[in-house]
Chains A and B, each alone.
Chain A
């Protein structure tokens, strides 16, 4: 069967604030196949974390509200499920790894107890068997003295170790999909590298991964396909190679250029001018136009996702223009700041 494991259609999420209601995620559609690792990339405020929470309906509401959309997981629309059914799905079929392990683990309970609680909720396993099972997973994720660690509180572990515990908990119930939101951002680069290796190893061939990050280096290490988000919308989707070798959307191009590479001394970096617009102040048409060095006349309309290559799409009119790129408008991407 070639149906995707997860198929998100026209998902929109809004939030109510003192300044009014705004859309954090605007009409997002994408899918994840079995066994695939998909990176959801974007900077602050682009809506990637909200998308992740939206999939498992973990968005606090109020103030959040899922305005529309379908989240079809293994053939069933999660949007239509009752809370009790969703709880069966979360932690087992779909598991999550968050950025701050300390916020996901209870500080008041020992690790062993937390793991057993999770196992017991989803499986009918006698306590002793659950203990052994949890212990074996701590071993698998490389936690030394696992037997003793079962009795430890989360704060007694280093950040890297805490994250390994999260990974153990995320994997031990054989999920079909793991959603990892910035799993290594709070970790040192050497620990991060170890965690990458661990996730790659542990992920069985048909477990899918949705990896949410702002760091394109992480995407490079972990993903097969990439979705780039900007200011609540998807701006580009493609394979890892498409995104890194043939980026089509000016934002993706700018982002790749802005990444600091290992250099040999003072270097002027290629910044993207300006900053993300406030969701209360999105321009008419493409949300990126004010920062785009190629903005032209058509950009005041909403761009659709145009085909840039096989299974490679970008929400940019430049992709839809035949021949040479059109002449940009006069103020296109001017850096008013230094």
Chain B
């Protein structure tokens, strides 16, 4: 099994490490004449995230990125593989231990409104976790006031209710709640996708400022490569349950290796650039219950060769990057 470098030394070790993580969902037997089929939403993912770093996880709908985020949070059960948080294996923890650890991993979801209990005022929302973990400093009111100021809202919002705010403000409230417990890691799952462009920019700046101030790590999940490339230090590209390429953001954007990454970049409308070349963006993501033989991207790949339809490529190192593609397997270096 090919993985990125594993660090066992505590000081250097990544904050989060996924080892061959799989999350499969069984389909009802009845549909397929008795044989159980699975939706292989996450199908062998090995990536890592360091402290004070942002890893962008990019992919289109159905690629499994949201399921991956949810599996890390414990909202889905991993089928196979390991999730190491600060060296500790999450799937092996007892419920008590996991609950204690939850303080350190927080999340901001896509829909700002459904993430907020409409019957709780802002003060209650942002201090709920603090109360749970006995971390309130002074009064709840004072603590809430400080938190909302940190995300750029004025203190008088604390007695108001979610429906009174705009999408951008609600997302700030979600962020205030996420940082209230001073976590190590925040998973942002399409956290700015539902926001207008001008508000998106504000919230991305806020996330970056908070990251500096509190030495946060972000797993930033998004379908939008443009957004991700402005916030991530490293990027992992996901397709049909697997990571097809990882590397520093600058490299991924300026010199994409995997044909799918190239497709994603070619598909981004860029004002001032020539209009999108349609030939570069063919095809549709096939069914997750029935992935194609060989390399999963081969039906849509402009560089597909016969071997691509027969065997899946290995995840190989290419400089300081990793890529899962037959085109790069002839490289002499780094082949595990």
Chain A interface (Cβ within 8 Å of chain B)? 43-44, 158-161, 188-194, 196-197, 214-218, 220-221, 244, 254-256, 258-273, 275-276, 336-338
B231 contacts A by Cβ under 8 Å: yes
Give the chain B neighbours of A194 by CB distance below 8 A. 278, 281-282
Which residues from 181 to 231 on chain B have a C-beta closer than 8 Å to any C-beta of chain A? 196-202, 204-206, 208-209, 223-227, 229-231
B152 contacts A by Cβ under 8 Å: yes
Q: Enumerate the 9 nearest inter-chain pairs by beta-carbon distance, A residue then B residue, closest first.
A: A337-B152, A217-B269, A264-B250, A271-B201, A43-B196, A269-B201, A188-B60, A197-B278, A272-B198
Give the chain B neighbours of A266 by CB distance below 8 A. 54, 208, 230-233
Report A29 CB to chain B, min CB distance, Å: 25
Is the CB–CB distance between A338 and B152 below 8 Å?
A: yes
Q: Classify the secondary structure of A's interface with B.
A: loop
What separation, in Å, do the CA atoms of A214 and B282 have in the docked complex?
A: 25
**Residue in B151, B263, B269 whose Cβ sees the most chain A Cβ within 10 Å:** B269
How many CB-defined contacts (below 8 Å) exist between A and B? 157
Report A235 CB to chain B, min CB distance, Å: 13
Closest B residue to A43 by beta carbon equals: B196
0/1 string, B83-98, CB within 8 A of A gives 1: 0000000000000000
Is the CB–CB distance between B254 and A221 below 8 Å?
A: no
Is the CB–CB distance between A337 and B208 below 8 Å?
A: no
Is the CB–CB distance between B233 and A265 below 8 Å?
A: yes
Which residues from 244 to 286 on chain B have a C-beta closer than 8 Å to any C-beta of chain A? 248-250, 253-254, 263-272, 275-276, 278, 280-285
Is the CB–CB distance between A244 and B276 below 8 Å?
A: no
Report A276 CB to chain B, min CB distance, Å: 7
Is the CB–CB distance between A271 and B198 below 8 Å?
A: yes
Q: Classify the secondary structure of B's interface with A.
A: helix
What separation, in Å, do the CA atoms of A336 and B151 have in the docked complex?
A: 11
What separation, in Å, do the CA atoms of A44 and B166 have in the docked complex?
A: 10
Closest B residue to A197 by beta carbon equals: B278
Is the CB–CB distance between A197 and B223 below 8 Å?
A: no
Give the chain B neighbours of A269 by CB distance below 8 A. 200-201, 204-205, 230
What separation, in Å, do the CA atoms of A216 and B254 have in the docked complex?
A: 23
Give the chain A neighbours of B223 by CB distance below 8 A. 188-189
What separation, in Å, do the CA atoms of A261 and B201 have in the docked complex?
A: 11
Is the CB–CB distance between A190 and B230 below 8 Å?
A: no
What separation, in Å, do the CA atoms of A161 and B285 have in the docked complex?
A: 12
Is the CB–CB distance between A276 and B264 below 8 Å?
A: no
Give the chain A neighbours of B166 by CB distance below 8 A. 44, 275-276
Give the chain A neighbours of B153 by CB distance below 8 A. 337
- A270 and B152 in contact, given A189-B267, A191-B284 (Cβ under 8 angstroms): no
- A190 and B168 in contact, given A43-B196, A196-B276, A214-B196 (Cβ under 8 angstroms): no
Give the chain B neighbours of A43 by CB distance below 8 A. 196-199
What separation, in Å, do the CA atoms of A217 and B273 have in the docked complex?
A: 10
What separation, in Å, do the CA atoms of A269 and B233 have in the docked complex?
A: 15
B61 contacts A by Cβ under 8 Å: yes
B169 contacts A by Cβ under 8 Å: yes
Report B51 CB to chain A, min CB distance, Å: 15
Closest B residue to A161 by beta carbon equals: B284
- A338 and B209 in contact, given A190-B60, A197-B276, A269-B201 (Cβ under 8 angstroms): yes
Closest B residue to A217 by beta carbon equals: B269
What separation, in Å, do the CA atoms of A214 and B167 have in the docked complex?
A: 15
Other-chain contact of A337, B202, B270, B271 (Cβ < 8 Å): B202
A sample of 27 inter-chain contacts (CB < 8 A) reads A43-B197, A43-B198, A44-B166, A158-B284, A189-B268, A192-B267, A194-B278, A215-B197, A216-B197, A216-B271, A220-B270, A221-B276, A254-B198, A260-B201, A261-B230, A262-B229, A262-B270, A264-B249, A265-B249, A266-B54, A266-B208, A266-B233, A270-B201, A271-B202, A272-B202, A338-B151, A338-B206
